[in-house]
Chains A and B, each alone.
Chain A
Amino acid sequence: MSKGDKFLKWFFSGRGIVDERFKQELGKVATKTLMVFFGVQLIFLLGFGMYMFLAPIKDFETVAAILWICEMLGTSAIFLGMEFVLIHRKVFVQELPEAKAKKAIRHLKFEWALRALFFGIGYWLLTSWLEMGKAGYIAQLFKPESIRRGVLGFVLWGAMMYGIQRWQLRKAKEDD
């Protein structure tokens, strides 16, 4: 598998073989996503631009914050929509013989538990650093609230990613 193919699988958290049909489906969905993204951006920025130039705005910082939130949410929603379409079209489905499938499921559990653990620790360290007050980093780090958020992030993200990938991993069907 080429580096580009590996990157595609990593980027979309996909399983399965990156073959020409995979790339063709991805290309079709990506083209439509780009068209939707362009259309949404155009309409949103035109509307927002008209508001900015015509309305008597005094607080531009709030306007910038609103613009940032809308862009973040909109872009994320469009990308997630693309991911869901790809999942719905079963592009990422990996079929394995029964014996291999059992082993792959065990490996998948271990893989996501480990990734989620690192994610949880990273999230805990980072949010504690961002939110530390006068009490200092260590005090913030061991606040029950900081630990609870880290653990929750670790459990939720790990479980969600395991669930998505487990759904894509299937026992090979008989010929149909």
Chain B
Amino acid sequence: MNHVREYRKAQKLSQLALADAIGVARQTINLIENDKYNPSLDLCLKLAWVLHTDLNTLFWRDEDE
């Protein structure tokens, strides 16, 4: 599971606000948070910038996860 939801909540952003900030639909954010959609590298970078973190923190997972 990625950490997009945690970091979004830490920034006090709703899914809609985050979606607006990076130019995607709210449904896309929802699918990313629930691991049902693999975003492109470009979108991952935008997420990391808006959530003030880095790609590793947001998306890294161990082999056994």
Contacts and interface: CB of A to CB of B under 8 A. Distances in A.
Do A and B share a complex? yes
B3 to A, nearest CB: 15
Contacts of A153: none
Contact of B37 (A21, A94, A97): A21
Size range of the interface on B?
A: 10 to 19
Contacts, number: 39
A93 B27 contact: yes
A173 to B, nearest CB: 8
Contacts of B19: 17
Interface of A: 16-17, 19-22, 90, 93-95, 97, 172-176
B28 A19 contact: yes
Main secondary structure of the interface of A (DSSP, over half): loop
A173 B3 CA distance: 21
Interface of B: 14-16, 19, 23-28, 30-31, 37, 39-40, 42-43
B38 to A, nearest CB: 9
Contacts of A22: 25
A17 B24 contact: yes
6 contacts: A20-B43, A21-B27, A93-B25, A95-B16, A95-B26, A175-B30
Interface centre among A19, A22, A94 (most CB of B within 10 A): A19
Contacts of B31: 21
